[in-house]
């Protein structure tokens, strides 16, 4: 080990030992970076698709995952510091992977299917009356093998990805 590496290693070890002993007042808290925001309301998304169940499914997934991911507590719209609202703009089921029909007349075989959900989202700071982040093109995708999985499994993957896409976009904007 070089002299510089040894020095850095000793300094890190000292920090690890001294930090807890001195009652360090700094801590890491995952969250939005939005000073003073403590609560969030997630409104049911408008639904422009023929899949009516998506409104409730997206609402449930966002209520379970978004407050925790952003470091906020759920609250009613009238008292929330931050409000999330949006619209489900499309739901598509496609077959991106298939084996084409062969020359002997055999049918095409679907190998993999894909569920994609597109939404537009706004995150509003209700205290300052500001749009903190918005996107009209949030897309989440789930895939399933035709032979062994279901569309519902892929939809659940897409819904989980939707939370991550919203969190990533929101934190990027803040």
Q: What is the pLDDT of residues 53-73, one digit of tens each?
A: 999 999 999 999 999 999 999
Question: How high is the mean pLDDT of the chain?
Answer: 81
pLDDT band at 34 (very low <50, low <70, confident <90, very high): low
Q: What is the pLDDT of residue 112?
A: 86
Domains detected in the chain: 36-173 (3.30.160.150)
Asked whether the predicted pLDDT for residue 4 surpasses 70, the reply is no
Q: Which long-range contacts (CB under 8 A, 24 or more apart) does 155-159 make?
A: 155/57, 155/115, 155/117, 157/115, 158/115, 158/116, 158/117, 159/57, 159/58, 159/61, 159/117
Q: What is the pTM of this model?
A: 0.72
Q: What is the pLDDT of residue 166?
A: 93
Q: What is the pLDDT of residue 109?
A: 76
Report how far residue 167's alpha carbon sits from residue 174's, in angstroms, rounded to the nearest whole number: 11
Instruction: Give the tens place of pLDDT for each residue, 64-103.
Output: 999 999 999 999 999 999 999 999 999 999 887 767 777 7
Asked whether the predicted pLDDT for residue 7 surpasses 50, the reply is no
């Amino acid at each position: 080990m070089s002299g510089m590496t040894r020095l850095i290693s000793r300094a890190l070890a000292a920090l690890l030992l001294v930090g807890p002993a001195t009652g360090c007042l700094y801590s890491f808290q995952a969250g939005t970076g939005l000073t003073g925001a403590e609560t969030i309301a997630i409104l049911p998304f408008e639904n422009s698709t023929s899949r009516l169940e998506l409104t409730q499914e997206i609402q449930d997934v966002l209520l379970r995952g978004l407050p925790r991911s952003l470091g906020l507590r759920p609250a009613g719209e009238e008292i929330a510091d931050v409000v999330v609202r949006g619209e489900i703009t499309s739901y598509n089921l496609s077959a991106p992977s298939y084996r084409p029909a062969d020359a002997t007349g055999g049918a095409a075989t679907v190998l993999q299917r894909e569920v994609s959900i597109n939404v537009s989202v706004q995150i509003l700071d209700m205290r300052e009356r500001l749009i903190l982040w918005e996107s009209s093109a949030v897309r989440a995708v789930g895939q399933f093998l035709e032979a062994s999985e279901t569309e519902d499994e892929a939809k659940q993957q897409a819904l989980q990805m939707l939370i991550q896409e919203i969190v990533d976009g929101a934190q990027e904007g803040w």
